[in-house]
Amino acid sequence: MVLFGVVAAGLVYLAASGPLSIWREHPRFSGTVVGTPDGDGLYLAGYSADVRLWGLDAPEWYTPEGPAASAALRRMVMGRRVECEDLGRDRYGRILGRCYLPDGRNVTRTMIATGTAVEFYRYTLGYFAITGLWHGD
């Protein structure tokens, strides 16, 4: 019985924090994209912190593939209003955002689908690999 209580408490903790917290509701914010520092980040008008697109791993700007990834993101979002879920901060103080275009498309999912970046599985645990009826996006 004690073991059951410990396991249940652990599951509640995991659901509230850590990797499983991606499935719960998060505070939302929105803004117009005024810049893209690289292939997985956004500058929004009115925000002092950069937005790091959660779950996206794009090539660094100094690699051969970096400029293409940055250009793809820029074409998709520049000047457009995005709505994001605030998933916290990364170690550099950037907002971790799960962001959506006005038509509802998830920016990270779209970059992955076009092949210009990959899923950062270390943090997502396959969130973007799940598709169809059961996916929350």
Of these residues, 65, 74, 83, 94, which one is catalytic? 94
Dihedral sign computed on CA atoms, order 43, 46, 51, 53: negative
Residue 94 annotated to the active site: yes
Of these residues, 60, 75, 81, 89, which one is catalytic? 60
Residue 60 annotated to the active site: yes
Q: 3-state class of 43 per DSSP? A: strand
Whether 51 and 94 have beta carbons less than 8 Å apart is answered as: yes
Cα distance between residue 32 and residue 45, in whole Å: 6
Residue 52 annotated to the active site: yes
Of these residues, 52, 85, 98, 119, which one is catalytic? 52
Active-site residue set: 52, 60, 94
